[in-house]
A = this chain, B = another copy of it.
């Protein structure tokens, strides 16, 4: 099936228009669904931590983003209220955490980690996701995850406008299935079975459309694949 007609149908069809005023009067949960959907498909991963006593914690995050490659930095947004407090406190207290990609085999368990378990309960134990310690890194990885990153906490930035917090970490360890790492260091996330999410609760696998050449003003981009 050619996708063009579908795209044009949508682009030309009736759109719902909402503005600040109509967003402001929405019921809280409705607004949360809407706004969380608006940015597009998101990076989603499991953040693994431990307190100094070795009590592990695991939490799903979809507010993960690239900040820079040299040094290799990732950002994570924390809400002002309790849900991910254990993760936050463990990172600040110990300085280390892991980011573990989610695949088709574990996304239900990953979603389950968002339940509000008591502090002394480990989400690893409750979901069947297995903590794995490697190369003397302080925080636990998720054994079932195909791409695993070990990060060191570097900077905390308070976002005054809505009392959220941005934590920045440096990637100091990483594990990738050998056949997913290309010669130019592009990682084939699809081959690694990494999934993406949208909104608060929707999970998606992907189908690659193309890899495109570096764009130049005087040249049309070409496919790096076909």
Task: Tell me if B31 and A69 are in contact (CB < 8 A).
Answer: yes
Query: What residues of B have a CB within 8 angstroms of the CB of A13 in the complex?
Result: 177-179
The answer to whether A135 has its CB under 8 Å from any CB of chain B is yes
Task: Tell me if B161 and A73 are in contact (CB < 8 A).
Answer: yes
Which of B40, B66, B168 contacts A196, CB < 8 Å? B40
Cβ distance A59 to chain B, nearest Cβ, rounded Å: 11
Number of A interface residues at 8 Å Cβ cutoff, please give it: 134
Task: Tell me if A31 and B72 are in contact (CB < 8 A).
Answer: yes
Cβ distance A186 to chain B, nearest Cβ, rounded Å: 5
User: Which residues, 111 to 164 on A, are CB-close (under 8 Å) to B?
Assistant: 111-118, 121, 126, 135, 143-147, 149, 154-155, 157, 159-162, 164
Task: Tell me if B40 and A64 are in contact (CB < 8 A).
Answer: yes
Q: Which residue of B lies closest to A181 (CB)?
A: B16
Which of B11, B117, B164, B221 contacts A143, CB < 8 Å? B11
The answer to whether A208 has its CB under 8 Å from any CB of chain B is yes
Residues of A within 8 A of B (CB): 3-4, 6-8, 10-11, 13-20, 23-24, 26, 28-45, 62-75, 77, 79, 99, 101, 103-105, 107-108, 111-118, 121, 126, 135, 143-147, 149, 154-155, 157, 159-162, 164, 166, 168, 170-181, 184-187, 189-196, 198-217, 219-221, 224
Known contacts A118-B217, A199-B211, A201-B214; can you find 14 more A-B pairs with CB under 8 A? A3-B193, A10-B146, A10-B193, A13-B179, A17-B174, A24-B71, A31-B185, A38-B187, A42-B66, A71-B161, A108-B210, A112-B215, A115-B217, A186-B200
